[in-house]
Amino acid sequence: MNQSSKSFCASCGVARTPGNTCDYCGRYYVEPIAGAANVARITALPSHYKITKNKKGSVITWRWAKNSAWMLIPFALVWLAMAFPIAIDYFAEPGSLPVQLLPMAVGVGLLCHAIMKLINKTSIFASRQSLYIKHHPIPWSGKFRIATDNIEQVFVSRIQRSNKESSWHAPALQLISKDGQRHELLRGKREAEFSDFESLRLVILKALNIEPQQVAGAHDSFS
């Protein structure tokens, strides 16, 4: 196939290879490209995804660590230093309004939030019995568990991302249950992550002992 006759994916713009599916973002096409069909494969993943496999299944873990958290810590400490005298005044005069403790509470909250962003991580546990998501070591909302027998498929969909200058598509790793409900497992930020998410999908499906299948409307965009 020469450059002039190449067909490009309408979702991600990458040149399509033989078969019905885009190798990069996973979009399914009714009309296949002539040649051998695509073979689902796991590509090398970025180092921030840690995959652990054992007899029970697979665990995918990634840290929340963000650069903004490092900048937030000194800001929170300075805030606490300014709020501390106000809190001391409150305890010196117990009859005063507790609103004086509000700046101290805000500072403690900011510091805890920054520390959580630095040390917390999320894990997806997948096995032939169940799939569940856990945030640790500091517990956080968003825990999820489902029996493998109730899972129809795991797939990669597209989400719309934007900022002041532009908008783009990013991947989201989703699960659809046998009763038709969708559950988001992981949300990406960049277009370049589509192939990584497809590899994560294959790791999970292998641990669940579920064959990869196309899901109708899986690549429809949503916010």
What single string gives the DSSP state of each residue in 142-179?
--EEEEGGGEEEEEEEEEEEE-SS-EEEEEEEEEEETT
Average model confidence (pLDDT) across the chain:
81
Q: Is the pLDDT of residue 169 over 60?
A: yes
- pLDDT, average across residues 105-115: 90
Quick one: CA dihedral 177, 184, 129, 209, positive or negative?
Answer: positive
Kindly indicate the confidence band of residue 4, based on its pLDDT and cuts at 50, 70 and 90.
Answer: very low
pLDDT given for residue 138 in this prediction = 87
Model confidence band, residue 12 (pLDDT cutoffs 50, 70, 90)? low
The predicted pLDDT at position 6 comes to 64
- Higher pLDDT: 12 or 99? It is 99
What is the rounded distance in angstroms from the CA atom of residue 158 to the CA atom of residue 25?
A: 9
Element containing residue 211 per DSSP (H, E):
none
Judge whether residue 190 has pLDDT over 60: yes
Q: What is the mean pLDDT of residues 109-129?
A: 92
Cβ-defined contacts of 139-147 (< 8 Å, 24+): 140/116, 144/183, 144/185, 146/175, 146/177, 146/183
Neighbours of 84 (CB within 10 A): 13
Residue recorded with tokens 């598509």: 169
Residue 180 pLDDT > 80, yes or no?
A: yes
pTM higher than 0.75: no
- Among 126-140, 154-168, 208-222, the minimum mean pLDDT is found in 208-222
207 pLDDT exceeds 60?
yes
User: So what's the pLDDT on residue 196?
Assistant: 87
- Residues 13-55 pLDDT 10s: 666 777 766 666 666 666 777 664 444 455 556 678 888 988 8
Report the amino acid identity of residue 40.
A
Which residues, 6 or more positions from 103, have their beta carbon under 8 angstroms from its beta carbon? 79, 82, 83, 86, 87
